[in-house]
Amino acid sequence: MDRNIRLPYAFHDIHEECGIFGVFGHPEAANLTYLGLYALQHRGQEGAGICSSDGASLHIEKSIGLVADIFSEKRLKRLPGSIAIGHNRYSTAGGGGLKNVQPLMANYALGSIAIAHNGNLVNAEQLKEELETEGAIFQSTSDSEVFLHLIARSKNEDPYERIIEAVRTAAGAFSLLFLGESELIAVRDPLGVRPLSIGMVDGAYVVASETCAFDLIGAEYIRDVEPGEMVIINHNGIRSVPVLQSLRKAFCIFEFIYFARPDSYIFNHTCVNTMRKEFGRQLARESMVDADIVIPVPDSGVPAAIGFAEESGIPFDFGLIRNHYVGRTFIEPKQTIRHFGVKIKLNPVRDLLNGKRVVVVDDSIVRGTTSKKIVKMIREIGGAKEVHMRISSPPTVGPCFYGIDTPTRQELIASSHRTEEIKKYITADSLAYLSIEGLKNIVPDSSNYCTACFDNNYPIMFPKEKLEQMELVFA
């Protein structure tokens, strides 16, 4: 459903569900970063920041809020130089406010450095404890600060080696941008969990979580930062250093299902919209139903609903209208307000639905509260005769520890309920999910994906205490 007003789910951990953008060698580096972050707003709405370098020192501006509200012309002018990195942050309820908004910046023995991180580390707590024992003082509660401490405390005289040491010590998902006084460095974890692409505009290099950021600034896509690769961009050009052994890939399949923007090309330049439509087509092949109309839950259900309609031959229409102006006032992690929230955001078009057999396509069911509310309103306000829920992903059975904000396992309805039970809970006439085989058959090289949220196959292990803390119980 609506991407820009996603509700924070969990309280158990601080997630780094984010968008990052960097530029090297452009006179308007901060302005380009602003635009890049603007295009990546869907990846995080809690806060945003930009750090620029004028060649001698770093300048930083960041705040809680949306990119367009944070950065005025005046504020962007305070970010001089031709190199910059930026970050959009989305955190859970306990996410720590301004102190966790990135980029994070530090001065250390070899100069200044700033970091923007998308992903989640699985050993951050352990590393943090070790660093604190050695005297480190953390300014934030975000995983990402660990990198800065590891870099600052290293004895190595080569700044690149310090970064390499740090990324080798960290385990988990990380697409990273580092800004030094005279360079931009990008690193991607060996599994490539989160996307990261390199582009070029006006002879300047840009790096972004998603290519939709390139389109806005007229940049041309060059290639992805490879899993395990460090890319150094400075006045000598662009240099690739393989720093982490990448034995297998684990691209986050949920980026295709929900998280990335449909107009982006991620994970070796695969079109998100095309994937979503194919998921919808496959869903129709797997779970056809006699119906009069196919409607999406906007916005994230739209491409899959179009695919479903094309494959099934059932007419498509926008039977649910989204209010695009719902503000953050309704982002409250309380069940009562969540229920209210769906009504605030979506309203059925009675003229389209009255007396009809309706197929509703959404990308996922997490707790089930959204679907329940939607089915009810389609019946009660829309006047639908039958409501058939179709989900363009398999049942979400496992929480994500690598950067997507999901609730604990107990709160994931599909982790403890069968489809038939969920159908009853959401009061639909029928409910069907896309099969995991169907999903894997669609994405290119399916063995390259992390599908832990659908099959509990976690590609990166984490410490036992962390599992317990996250209320994760393995069968």
Name the site residues for ligand AMP (rule: CB under 6 A).
1, 6, 258, 297, 300, 362-371, 404-406
Contact yes or no for 276/303 (Cβ under 8 A):
yes
Shortest separation between residue 197's beta carbon and ligand AMP, angstroms:
22
**In a 10 Å sphere around its CB, with 0-12 CB exposed, 13-18 middle and 19+ buried, how is residue 419 labelled?**
middle
Shortest separation between residue 468's beta carbon and ligand AMP, angstroms:
22
Tell me whether residue 11 or residue 269 sits nearer to ligand AMP (CB atom).
11
Tell me whether residue 227 or residue 298 sits nearer to ligand AMP (CB atom).
298
Distance (Å) of CA 440 to CA 141, 175, 246, 361: 36, 24, 21, 19
d(CA 234, CA 243): 18
Question: 119 φ, ψ to 5°?
Answer: 135, -170
Shortest separation between residue 372's beta carbon and ligand AMP, angstroms:
8
Q: What pairing do the DSSP bridges indicate for beta strands 17-24 and 204-208?
A: antiparallel
Alpha helices in 335-448 (DSSP H): 335-345, 350-353, 369-380, 413-416, 419-426, 436-442
DSSP per-residue string spanning 136-198: ---S-SSTTHHHHHHHHH---SSHHHHHHHHHHH--B--EEEEE-SS-EEEEE-TT--S--EE
Whether 18 sits among the annotated catalytic residues: the reply is yes
Tell me whether residue 4 or residue 141 sits nearer to ligand AMP (CB atom).
4
Q: Which two tokens stand for residue 336?
A: 């009562």
Tell me whether residue 88 or residue 300 sits nearer to ligand AMP (CB atom).
300
User: Could you tell me if residue 334 is left (phi over 0), alpha (psi between -120 and 50 degrees) or otherwise beta?
Assistant: beta
Shortest separation between residue 244's beta carbon and ligand AMP, angstroms:
27
Tell me whether residue 29 or residue 413 sits nearer to ligand AMP (CB atom).
413
With residue 253 as reference, give the H or E element that holds it.
Answer: helix 253-254
Q: Which two tokens stand for residue 81?
A: 């130089």
Shortest separation between residue 362's beta carbon and ligand AMP, angstroms:
5
| Annotated catalytic residue, options 18, 400, 450, 453 | 18
Tell me whether residue 144 or residue 300 sits nearer to ligand AMP (CB atom).
300
Shortest separation between residue 36's beta carbon and ligand AMP, angstroms:
22
Tell me whether residue 229 or residue 405 sits nearer to ligand AMP (CB atom).
405
d(CA 54, CA 78): 11
Peptide bond into 299 cis (omega under 30): yes
Shortest separation between residue 447's beta carbon and ligand AMP, angstroms:
24
CB atoms within 10 A of CB 245: 9
Distance (Å) of CA 366 to CA 35, 100, 407, 418: 31, 26, 8, 13
Tell me whether residue 175 or residue 371 sits nearer to ligand AMP (CB atom).
371
Burial 4-21 (b: 16+ CB within 10 A, else e): ebbbbbbebbbbbbbbbb
Shortest separation between residue 254's beta carbon and ligand AMP, angstroms:
7
Shortest separation between residue 99's beta carbon and ligand AMP, angstroms:
23
d(CA 467, CA 246): 25
Angle ∠(431,437,443) on CA atoms, nearest 5:
110
Q: What is the dihedral of CA 110, 86, 172, 129, to 10 degrees?
A: 50
Tell me whether residue 31 or residue 91 sits nearer to ligand AMP (CB atom).
91
Q: Hey, which residues are catalytic here?
A: 18
